[in-house]
Structures are given as C-alpha cells and as structure tokens.
Amino acid sequence: MVDNLNSHLNKLVSEACLHPPQSIERQKGVDRLIRAIQASKKLWRETTPYYEDALQKTWFYLCRNLCEAVTAKNPYDPEKGSVITWLTNYLKHRLKDFKLQEIEKRKNTEPKRIDNEGNPIDPVDNIPAPPHVTPIEEEIRQWLEADPPTGKLNSIRVKGYPEVTIKALIERRCLLDLEWKAIAEEFGIEKVTTLRSFYNRQCKPRLREFGQQQE
C-alpha cells in the first residue's frame, strides 16, 4: 500500500513538473498533488493549536520548492525519500518554531524557575532559535504591500467588519503569528470561528496561488 501511494504521488510530482513555472497546468498539477497527500492522511499530524498554521507554511513550501528550489537549497528529490517524508520533516521544523514562540510568550507571564545554585532556568535555551524573518515571510510581506487599495487583498472583507480584510488576516497570522483570540479581540469579533472560516475560504487559496506563481 505504501509503495503504491509513493508511486502515485511521484507520478503526480513528475506530471506537475513537466509544465513551466507559473503556468495554469503547473498550478493544477500541484493542486492535484496536495489533494492526494491530504486524502492519504499520511502527513504528520498533532493536536496543537498552531498545527494548521504550520501546515499552511508547509503547503507554501511545497509550492515554492517542488520542481525548482526557490526558498530551499534544493528542490524535492524523490531519490532521497517520499514527498510525504520531505514535507513531514519541514512541517516538524515549523511546529518547533511555533512551540518556541509559545514558550517565549509564556516566559513573561510565568514565575521564573531557578536551579540549585539560584540561577534562572530558561526553557528556551534547549531549543534552537529560528531565523527572525524567513525568505518566505519577506516575500509575503512584499506581496501584501504591493496590492493596491482596490485590490482583492484589501477589498475582500469579513461581512460586517470592514477592517478585517484578506491582507489584515494574512499579516497577523503569517507575519505577526498572532493567535486567533488576539485577532478577534483586536477587531471586536465575538466568535473566533468567524475569522477561521474567512481565512480558510479566502486567505489560504490566495496564499497557495501566490506560492505557485513565485516558482
């Protein structure tokens, strides 16, 4: 079963990479690959509040580095492992980044622990720090800033909340790493599900499309 799945996924990879970057055919091929990976349910999963955000970064990484290396040193190489293994490794690193951020946030609210000699113990010391701004985040920032006031990123909004645009949500989730609760409080939205639904319907597809266009 696993060999059959890997063969099927590798076939989808080959078919997608036959087409030029930014072409509609390439985008459709990558979409087919993503749907097949999702359907397999073999990609790493865990019940953490930031899993979906890490997963979104992973799909973005796939779009940018599947056939050509845009933000990675090398593109995906089927000789080194399955595409699911490749993505799982990246996903786990992003989850570690989010965990680090969560620990740093708690540092300011929890009492400091000390060792036997009276020195403070920093839980972050054992976790390698990620780059402050990744190339992907910088490209997302430039993409958002380039959108005109009448563009889709600025004009498509949450119903009843004109300040909550696609751009505003992507900035807060992808660049500032704000939690849903914090964003909801900022804009006076009672239900976090309202933001999540809008993000899934309007933001995620455009992030994926942007990633494919940058290949």
User: Between residues 12 and 174, which one has the greater pLDDT?
Assistant: 12
Instruction: With beta carbons less than 8 A apart as the criterion, state whether 166 and 151 touch.
Output: no
Task: Please state whether beta strands 120-121 and 161-165 pair in parallel, antiparallel, or not at all (unpaired).
Answer: unpaired
What is the average pLDDT across 143-151?
87
Query: What pTM did the predictor assign?
Result: 0.61
- Residue 120 pairs in a beta bridge with 114
Q: Where are the domains of the chain?
A: 2-107, 131-213
pLDDT tens sequence across 78-114? 888 899 999 999 999 999 888 888 777 776 665 556 6
SS3 161: strand
pLDDT at 30 over 90: yes
Q: What are the backbone dihedrals phi and psi of residue 48, each rounded to the nearest 5 degrees, phi first?
A: -120, 150
Provide φ and ψ at 44, rounded to 5°. -55, 135
